[in-house]
Each structure stands twice: as structure tokens, then as C-alpha cells.
Amino acid sequence: MTLKIIAGKFKNQKLSAPDDIRPATSLVRNAIFNICQNFIEDTNFLDIFSGSGAIGIEALSRGAKFSTFIDKSFNSCKFIKANIKKLNLEKDTKVICLDAIKAVESLNTKFDIISIDPPFIFYKENPKYLDDLLKLLQKKLIHKNSIIFLEQPTYAIREENIEGLILQNKRRYSSAYLLEYVLG
């Protein structure tokens, strides 16, 4: 599967993606970066459930200074690293091939923008996992100006309010919602 970078210095560059993932649509990726376009410059970006790395690489393309990628799939990590190498971004990136919660527990960096795009099966099998992940991010990796974007399917049944975080906005894009959280 192939994805394209939408805008920025790598516009129209093609990225490879594993066939077994559901990448964020270009509509959702574009929405994320339209929302944060005025403050993406020089940010520290975290891409959780990275898949191909398209969201974190898009952040770098649009001016982020560093992107960290988290995915527990060895195959996805292979694709992320290949895409990073293809664009010569090794010095601007870090790839962590671990479960998201374990990876977040291992980090001690504050992030300005965080994108979470889990496989939609999470919402059926273990919706509490995502709430636990959001709480952990809040405790460890965000500051007062951080934004967290969470993509979830429209059929998801989970409490969207998380203690300590404010649901700033919820936008629908086809069969998915994009939730935007800030520190409360």
C-alpha cells in the first residue's frame, strides 16, 4: 500500500505501508495539520500506533523539529524505518517498537502534539486501554500547551471525558471521529 505526504517540504513523496494496517485517511491527516498549522513549527511530535509513520513524517514535512514513532508491530516498525530512511530523516526521528503503554512509560520527553490512531479493533476489544493511555500521557508526556489527537470509529462506545483532559473538539470525517484533547 502507498500513501502520499500531503503538504510541506516532502509534499507528494510516496510512503510505503503494510497491507494489514488501516492508515489515517488523507482527510483526517489534513484535518490534524490544519488545526495545528499555526504552531507546528519546531514542535516535538509523537505518533502512537504509527503504522507507516505517515502522520509523524507529515509533521516533519510541515515543520516539526522531531517526531517519535510508537508501534508494537515489528512489520510496521520496518516500514516506518524504511520511510524515514528514504526521506533522510534519521536524525529527526526515533522509532520505538513496543506496546504503546510500555513505550510511553519509557519516555521522559514532553511532546507538543500527540497523534493516536489505534486499530479500530481496540474499540471493541479493549476501549479501557485507550483511556489508560490518555491518562498516562497526561501524567508523563504533555505540558500545558500540548494537544492530543485521537482518531476513533463512529461506532466506538467509550467515555470521551478523561479526568484532567478537556475534550476541545470532536469532528466527524466519514466513518471516524477526530477528538482533540488539551490539558484541563
pLDDT in tens, 12-32: 999 999 888 887 778 899 999
Amino acid at 143: H
- Mean pLDDT for 155-160 is 81
pLDDT confidence bin for 163, thresholds 50/70/90: confident
pLDDT value at 56 more than 80: yes
What's the pLDDT at 52? 94
Q: Can you give the CATH number for the domain in which 133 is found?
A: 3.40.50.150
CA 75 – CA 30 distance, rounded (Å): 25
Q: How far apart are the first and last CA of the chain?
A: 39
What's the pLDDT at 93? 98
- Phi and psi at residue 28, to the nearest 5°: -70, -45
Q: How many CB atoms lie within 10 A of CB 8?
A: 17
What's the pLDDT at 170? 95
Q: What is the extent of the structural domain holding 174?
A: 2-183
What's the pLDDT at 26? 82
pLDDT tens-digit map of 89-112: 999 999 999 999 999 999 999 999
- Mean pLDDT for 36-62 is 96
What pTM, to 2 d.p., does this model score? 0.95
Tell me if 16 sits within 8 A of 82, measured CB to CB: yes
Q: What contacts 68, CB < 8 A, 6 or more positions away?
A: 44, 45, 46, 47, 56, 93, 94, 95, 96, 107, 109, 111
Count of structural domains, the chain: 1
The sheet with strand 176-183 has its strands ordered as 93-96, 66-70, 44-48, 111-116, 142-153, 176-183, 165-173
CA 166 – CA 142 distance, rounded (Å): 13
Q: What contacts 161, CB < 8 A, 6 or more positions away?
A: 167
